[in-house]
Amino acid sequence: MATSILERTSSGGTAAGAPNQTKRRINRTLKYALLLLFVIMILIPAYVLFITSFKGSSDADPSRAWLLPETWETAGWAKAWTTLAPALGRTFLLVIPAAIISATLGSINGYVLSKWRFPGANIVFTLILFGMFIPYQAVMIPLTQLMSNIGVPQGIPSLMLLHIVYGLPICTLIFRNYYESVPSELIEAARMDGAGIMRTYTSVIFPVSAPGFVVVLIWQFTSAWNDYLFAAFFSSGRNGPVTIALSFLAGGQLTDYAASMAGALIASVPTLIVYILLGKYFVGGLMSGSVKG
Amino acid sequence: MFRRVKHWGPGLLLLAPTIILVGVFVYWLIFENFRVSLTNQHTAKPSNKYVGFENYTNLLADPNFQHSLWNLLILTVVFLSGTLIFGFLWAWILDKPAKGEGFFRAVYLFPMSVSFIASGVVWRWLLSSLQTDQPGGERTTGLNRLLDSVGLGFMQNDWWSNPTWGIAAIAVPAIWQLSGYVMALFLAGFRGIPEELREAARIDGCSEWKLYRYVIFPQLNPVMLSAVIIIGHMSLKLFDLIRAIVPDANTYDVQVPATMMWVKYIGSDYADAAAIGMILLVLVAIVVIPYLMYTSRAEKR
C-alpha cells in the first residue's frame, strides 16, 4: 500500500496537490479498514452460528471451537427441523393474519386522524400512541385473567388477538404520518362530489396506500415473528410460535449447540428474507418507529 | 351543531373499535393491574384483601429487587452509550458518499431483523464464562477461547456471571443488535441537514470541528432524542435476550425488574408481579411522556 501511495505522489502533477492527495488516500484506506473491521465484528456471531450448526458430536473439541467443522454433519439441522417445523407453521398462521388485520385497521385510523379530524383528535392520537411504549409487564397479570375470562384459547388465537391490539398504535402512527403527505385538496374534492368517509377512503386514499402498507406489513410481520414476551405468557411448547419452540430447544443446562444454532438460523430465515428483499421499506418502518420520522 | 356532528361523527365511528380496544387493553388493564398490586394475592388462590402500598414498600426494601434496579441502571447506561457511539460513528463514516456504502449499511443493520431469542442462542455460547487459565479451562469456548488464541488471553472474563457488572455483558449483544438502528436514525438526520448550511459555515472559515460543534450537532438533537427514547425504553423492557442467554430466569447476576416479574408470575405471586409491572410503567412513563408531549407540541408549531 505504501508504495502505491508513493507512486501516486511522484507521478501526481503539481507539488501543492501531492500531499493533499496522499492524505486523502490514507484517509480513504483508513476509512475502509475501519468499515471492514466493523463488518467482521457484526458477522462474528453469524459465522459461529453457521459453523457450529454443522458440527457433529465427534467435533466437540473446544480447542477447535472457532474453526470450520472437520466433517460437515447435518444431524443438528435435522433435529432442529423436526423440532421447529410444527411451530414454524403455526407462526406463519399467526403472523400473516395479524399483520394484515392490524395494518387495515391502522390504515383507517391513520386516515381519520390525518384527514377526517374531529375535536380532540390530537389527544386521542397521543393516548393511542402511548400504548406503543408501555411495558407489557404492566398489563400482563390482569391480561391473563381477561383472556381466560373472555375465553380466547391459549396459543395462536390469543397471540393473534394480542398482536393485533398492541400493534394498533404503531400501525396508526405510520399511516397517519404517511397520509399527512397526501394533499388535502384530493379529499376536499371528493367531499365536494358528495363522497362519504368510506367512499373517499376507497376511491382516493386506499389506492395511494401501497407504500404505507408495505412498511406496516413488514414491521408487523417481523415484530410478531420475533415476539417472545407474549408467547411466553400465552402459549406453551405444544401450541406456541417458533420463538418458544426455539427457546425450549436451546434452553436448559445441557445444550445441543449444533441443533440450537441450526434452529436459530431456521427461525431467522423468514425475517432475513424479508429484510434482504424489502430492506428499504424495513428501514422505513424503523424510521416511523421514532414517532416523528 | 348537528352539521358539525355530521361532519366528524363518521370519523369517530370508524375510530371507535381502536379507541375501545386500546381503552380496554391498555388503560383499563393498567388500572386493573394497579388494583391487583394493592392486594395480598401472593398465591394462586384469589384474594382481594387490600394492603395499600405494602407490596411496593416490601419490594423496594428487598435487596434482590434493589439489585435488579441497579442492574437495570447499568444495562441502560451501557446499552445507550454503546448504541449511540457505534450508531453515530457508522452514520458519520457512511454519510459521505462512498463506494459500497449500501453494503456496509445493510450489514450493520441486519442484526435488527433477527429475534433476541435467536441471537441469544449464539451469544449464550459466545459469552460463556469458562476461562482457559481456570480449572477445567481446556473446555473453554466462546469469546474467551477466541481472545486466548489471538494472544489477548488477559482480556478473558466471566461475562455475565458477575454480581456487580455481569449485566453489562448482556448489553454487548443488545448493542450488537441495535447499533444499526441508531445508525439509520443518524443517517436520516445527517441527510436532513441542508448542504447550503455546511457550505455557508465553510465559507465563513469554520474549521471541521467547529462545523460539527456549532452546525451539525445542534441539527441532530431531535434525532439524538428519538434514539435515546427508543433505546432507553427498549432497555427498560429488555426480557427476551436475558432469558435466551441465561438459562435460569432467577439469576441474581442479571436480574432486572422484567425478569423478576416473570419469576413472581411463575411463582403465582400475582400481587408482587403486578407491582413490579407498575414500577416499570412509571420508569418508562418518566422517559416517554415528556417526549410525547414535546413531539405533539412541536407538531402544532
The proportion of chain A whose per-residue pLDDT surpasses 70, expressed as a percent, equals 88
* Amino acid found at B150: V
Average pLDDT, chain A: 86
* Amino acid found at A186: L
Q: Phi and psi of B44, rounded to 5°?
A: -65, -20
Residue ranges of B 13-52 with Cβ closer than 8 A to chain A: 14-15, 17-19, 21-22, 25-27, 29-30, 32-33, 36
**Measured between CB atoms, does A181 come within 8 Å of chain B?**
no
User: How confident is the model over A246-288, as pLDDT tens digits?
Assistant: 999 988 766 788 899 999 999 999 999 988 888 777 776 666 6
User: How confident is the model over B214-243, as pLDDT tens digits?
Assistant: 888 888 888 888 899 889 989 999 999 999
Q: Which chain A residue lies closest to B111 (C-alpha atoms)? A: A42
CB–CB contact B277 A34 (8 Å): no
Please name the helix (run of DSSP H) or strand (run of DSSP E) that holds residue B208, with its range, or none: helix B208-210
Contact call for residues A107 and A209 (beta carbons, < 8 A): yes
Please tell us whether the domain made up of B57-300 is placed in CATH 1.10.3720.10.
Answer: yes
Q: Phi and psi of A152, rounded to 5°?
A: -80, 125
Homologous superfamily, domain A75-288 = MetI-like (1.10.3720.10)
Mutate: best of A41, A133, A191, A255, partner B, most B CBs <10 A: A133
The answer on pLDDT for A1 being more than 70 is: no
pLDDT of residue A291: 45
Cβ-in-10-Å burial (0-12, 13-18, 19+) of A228 comes to buried
Give contacts of B262 with chain A, Cβ < 8 Å: 232
Residue ranges of B 181-200 with Cβ closer than 8 A to chain A: 181, 184-185, 188
pLDDT of residue A158: 96
**Measured between CB atoms, does A136 come within 8 Å of chain B?**
yes
Q: Which chain B residue lies closest to A137 (C-alpha atoms)? A: B277
**Measured between CB atoms, does B107 come within 8 Å of chain A?**
yes
Domain segments of chain B: what residues?
57-300
Contacts of B71 (CB under 8 A, 6+ apart): B167, B254, B255, B256
**Measured between CB atoms, does B87 come within 8 Å of chain A?**
no
Per residue of chain B (301 residues), give pLDDT as tens: 556 666 778 888 999 999 999 999 999 999 999 999 999 999 888 877 899 999 999 999 999 999 999 999 999 999 999 999 999 999 988 887 778 888 898 899 999 999 999 999 999 999 988 887 777 777 778 888 888 888 787 778 888 888 888 899 999 999 999 999 999 889 888 888 888 888 888 888 878 788 888 888 888 888 888 899 889 989 999 999 999 999 888 888 999 999 999 999 999 999 999 999 999 999 999 988 888 887 777 766 5
Grid coordinates given for A55: 458440527
Identify which has the larger pLDDT, A150 or A59: A150
Q: What's the per-residue H, E or C state across chain A? A: CHHHHHHHHHCCCCCCHHHHHHHHHHHHHHHHHHHHHHHHHHHHHHHHHHHHHCCCHHHCCHHHCCCCCCCCCCHHHHHHHHHHHHHHHHHHHHHHHHHHHHHHHHHHHHHHHHHCCCCCHHHHHHHHHHHHHCCCHHHHHHHHHHHHHCCCCCCHHHHHHHHHHHHHHHHHHHHHHHHHCCCHHHHHHHHHCCCCHHHHHHHHHHHHCHHHHHHHHHHHHHHHHCCCHHHHHHCCCCCCCHHHHHHHHHCCCCCCHHHHHHHHHHHHHHHHHHHHHHHHHHHHHHHHCCCCC
Q: Give the closest of B9, B33, B188 to A139, CB-based.
A: B33
Q: Give the closest of B25, B149, B185 to A165, CB-based.
A: B25
**Measured between CB atoms, does B85 come within 8 Å of chain A?**
no
Give contacts of B265 with chain A, Cβ < 8 Å: 140-141, 233
Using alpha carbons only, what angle is made at residue A206 by residues A205 and A210, rounded to the nearest 5 degrees?
115
CB–CB contact B296 A126 (8 Å): yes
User: How confident is the model over B172-199, as pLDDT tens digits?
Assistant: 999 999 999 999 889 888 888 888 888 8
Q: Give the closest of B239, B280, B281 to A229, CB-based.
A: B239
CA A263 – CA A243 distance, rounded (Å): 10
* Amino acid found at A43: L
Spell out where chain B has E strands. none
Contacts of B202 (CB under 8 A, 6+ apart): B211
Give contacts of B29 with chain A, Cβ < 8 Å: 139, 142-143, 146
| Whole-number Cα distances in Å, A155 to A97, A237, B126 | 15, 9, 32
Contact call for residues A110 and A293 (beta carbons, < 8 A): no
CA A187 – CA A217 distance, rounded (Å): 25
Helix/strand/coil for B157: coil
A252: left (phi over 0), alpha (psi -120 to 50) or beta: left
**Measured between CB atoms, does A113 come within 8 Å of chain B?**
yes
Name the DSSP class of B139: G
pLDDT of residue A141: 95
Give contacts of A280 with chain B, Cβ < 8 Å: none
* Amino acid found at A22: T
